[in-house]
Structure 1
Amino acid sequence: MKLLRVPAALLLVAAGVLGATQPASAATPADGAYLAPAHQLNLTIIAAARTAVTQGSTPCIRKVAAQLERDHLKLAAQETVVAARVDLELPTTVSTDERRQLITLAAKSGKDGYDAAWMSFQRQLHQDYLKLIAGDAPKEASPAVEAVANGAKPVVEMDLRLVGPGQCKAQVRPPSVDTGTGGMVADAKETRTRAALGLVVLGLLLLLVGKSVSVRRRLLGIGALAAGLVMMFGGTVRDTGSVPQAAAGPQAREAAVPPVQLKVPGLMDVKVQAVATAGDGRLEVPTKGDVGWWAAGAAPGAQGGTVLLAGHVDTAAGRGVFAQLEKVPMDARVAVTDGAGEQHWYRIVARRTYKQDNLPPDLFNGAMKPRLALVTCTGSYDHKAKKYSHNLVLYGEPLD
């Protein structure tokens, strides 16, 4: 059974790398009551997933197994990092009962019932994980441990849907980020554009129509034309800067304490909630004033990965938390505070617009170097579909 120790060993190495600079503090009873069983569940989920990556009889099972392994390696590494901060020793192997279940499951590999048995086992493990998160321990734990539990919840819920009753449900494409459901920001821009066109037309009429143009009329025409052009092009969002390097990397590099606050000095200071995808593959971004953190990605302060924070530009209730995101200039400083109270500063280095539902996959599963991505909607708005045409992404590099 040495194979079952491999994930834990790797995670202990990650903790040594990622947590070495963090001062240890005494763990509370609630810290251990959550972290130890959560970590053991993760080790079991990882061990079962690794078997199905090769033994699953269908591409869907193998793909889901790979995603579960990836997601829970990161969650387990995150627990290891936080445990090191509070000087708590975590289990390094699965429990005796879970080992027996893994052996029973492995005996079914290559047989007709393996896939169904594997999904049932994973389903039970994920349900147990959610019960643990919903219990009292996370609420009574230290802030960093509570943040880890809150960050794990949407990931476990997302993965549970993949192994839910019925057919296997592999996620076939990167998540989409639909962060505009009101359209008032786009409508305001359209109104501004129409007014600008009116001024341009007025200016041209004043300058060109008639046999003779007085000095006063010429000045009025030039003023109207200039004002119209400024209104039309002055607020245009353009791609600029160099996007930080992106490439797939080890999940352990993405582990750190989850974020709880985002601050852009002079523009916003908002809470952050951990989110994952809904059943339709869309990121479940909060609609009531908070920013959503892609909990299956990197956390601030990690050695690698993308810290993806998404917020609405608008909703049916009005302008959203990221309504002013396009006003954030290049070189702006952005602070992300983690659940332990530590601030991580980033410098905005690039701006990109992408067609809706066509975001780069590496936003969700890659970046050898740490980076920040702030995501919202932009472009035109389809009132029937209640959807913007594009996403706006600001990229940042860490300053610490």
Structure 2
Amino acid sequence: MRKRPVAAAVAAVALCGTAAPHAFAQRPAGQDETFLIQVHQGNLAEIAAGQDAGRHATSKCVKQVGAVLVRDHTKLDADVKTLADKLKVRLPASPSAEQKKQLAAVQAKAGTSAYDAAWLRTQEAGHRQTLALIDQEIKAGKNSQVVAAARSARPVVAMHLDMVRGGTCHMAGHTGMVGAGTGGDPASVEADTAAVGTAGLAGGGLLAAGGATWLLMRRRSTRTQ
């Protein structure tokens, strides 16, 4: 009669032993958690910068790029927040102090041509840092879901860098990202966002969709050239 409780106890321990490694694997390591936090703050900073460009930029091109940043980083961040919630990672509510300082420095030039130049330089530096952050996660990340999210986000961030590379606005080569038939009009960005990004917030859906859409549009643009 005593053997049964002992056998049951041994079986329970064995089950716990097999389940524990799987549960542990789902927890983000230091690298993965840091990536989610930093990329989330980067998204918030880019959204704020894009909105500010819509209000204060003097050139149509910078306003258009700003609208694209708002659209794309809103989509990317929705997926980051979903993944962070799933992995129990607490995200900050605002950009970093340094990111806020950088935006304030650009805002000080609002309404002048100097604003556009400062905005473009800041966005080039910011997107280079984000790409480095993504590449580090792809190389050293331990959580497969976080690494997959980084891979999916990379082509979108690389496209943004192309749009501001050299501190010069290059919207013309990326009109496909704004949406067919919009003529690059920033006013059409919200409608295009709804058309492109409504499917699936979980499991990297938005990130994957954003990357796939960019690649498709890039191929079409190449063919027309």
TM-score w.r.t. length of structure 1: 0.41
Alignment match, 1:119: 120
Match of 1:249 in 2: 194
Secondary structure at the counterpart of residue 50 of structure 1: helix
Q: Kindly provide the CA deviation profile for residues 69-91 of structure 1, in whole angstroms up to 9, marking residues without a partner as x.
A: 11111111111010011111111
Distance change in 2, residues 1:175/1:51 (3 Å): closer
Q: Is the CA contact (8 Å cut-off) linking 1:105 and 1:114 kept in structure 2? A: yes
Structure 1 runs of 4+ aligned residues shifted over 4 Å read 250-254, 274-278
Q: Give 1 or 2: higher helix fraction.
A: 2
1:173 aligns with 2:109: no
- 5 Å-filtered alignment, 1:292-307, equals none
- Which secondary structure state, in structure 2, belongs to the residue aligned with residue 110 of structure 1? coil
Would the aligned equivalents of 1:31 and 1:138 in 2 still touch at CA under 8 Å? no
Normalized per residue, the structure richer in strand is: 1
Query: How far off is 1:112 after superposition?
Result: 2.1
SS at match of 1:117: helix
Instruction: Please show how residues 139-178 of structure 1 align to structure 2 within 5 Å.
Output: 139-165=140-166, 167-170=168-171, 171-173=174-176
Q: What's the CA shift for 1:175?
A: 8.8
Cα pair 1:138 1:145 within 8 Å, conserved = no
Shift of 1:140: 2.4
Q: Find out whether 1:45 has 2:46 as its counterpart.
A: yes
- The letter of the residue matching 1:103 is A
Whole-angstrom CA distance in 2 between matches of 1:157 and 1:35:
18
Counterpart check, 1:63 vs 2:64: yes
Helix, strand or coil: the match of 1:67?
helix
Once residues 113 and 155 of structure 2 are traced to their aligned partners in structure 1, the CA distance between those partners, rounded to angstroms, is 32
Amino acid paired to 1:173 = G
Paired residues of 1:74 and 1:254 also in contact (CA < 8 A): no
Cα deviation, 1:345-373, whole Å, max 9, x if unaligned, reads xxxxxxxxxxxx59xxxxxxxxxxxxxxx
Indicate conservation of the 8 Å contact 2:164/2:170, yes or no: yes
Please state how far the C-alpha of 1:275 moved relative to its aligned partner. Answer: 4.7
The letter for the 1-side match of 2:176 is: R
Mapped contact 1:60–1:169 kept (Cα < 8 A): yes
Structure 2 unaligned blocks of 5 or more: 1-22, 180-190
The alpha-carbon distance between structure 1 residues 258 and 33, as it changes in their structure 2 partners (threshold 3 A), is same
Q: Do the aligned partners of 1:31 and 1:137 also contact (CA within 8 Å) in 2?
A: no
The percentage of counterpart residues that share the same residue type is: 30
Check the 8 A contact 2:58/2:116 in 1, yes or no: yes
User: Which digits, 9 at most, give the CA deviation of each residue in 1:28-80, with x for residues without a partner?
Assistant: 22221211111111111111111001211111111110001111111111110
Q: CA distance change for structure 1 residues 113 and 155 in 2, over 3 Å: closer, same or farther?
A: same
| Secondary structure, counterpart of 2:194 in structure 1 | coil
Q: CA deviation at 1:155?
A: 0.4
Counterpart Cα distance in 2 of 1:275 and 1:139 = 24
Equivalent position SS for 2:175: coil
Shift of 1:247: 7.3
Q: Give the conservation status (yes or no) of the 8 Å contact 2:163–2:170.
A: yes
Write the distance in 1 (CA, Å) between the matches of 2:204 and 2:170. 27
1:79 matches 2:80: yes
Contact map agreement 1:82 1:256 (CA 8 A) in 2: yes
The verdict on how the C-alpha distance between 1:247 and 1:129 changes in structure 2, with shifts beyond 3 A counting, is closer
C-alpha separation between the residues in 2 aligned to 1:92 and 1:136?
A: 22
2:193 and 2:212 mapped to 1: Cα distance? 21
Distance 1:80 1:58 in 2: 33
Q: Check whether the contact 1:49–1:68 (CA below 8 A) recurs between aligned residues.
A: yes
For the 8 Å contact 1:42–1:73, the answer to whether it is kept is: yes
**Partner residue of 1:282 out of 212, 218, 223:** 218
Q: What's the TM-score, normalizing by structure 2?
A: 0.69
Q: Distance in 2 between matches of 1:39 and 1:163?
A: 21
Which of the pair has the greater relative contact order for Cα pairs under 8 Å at 6+ separation? 2
Q: CA RMSD in A?
A: 3.1
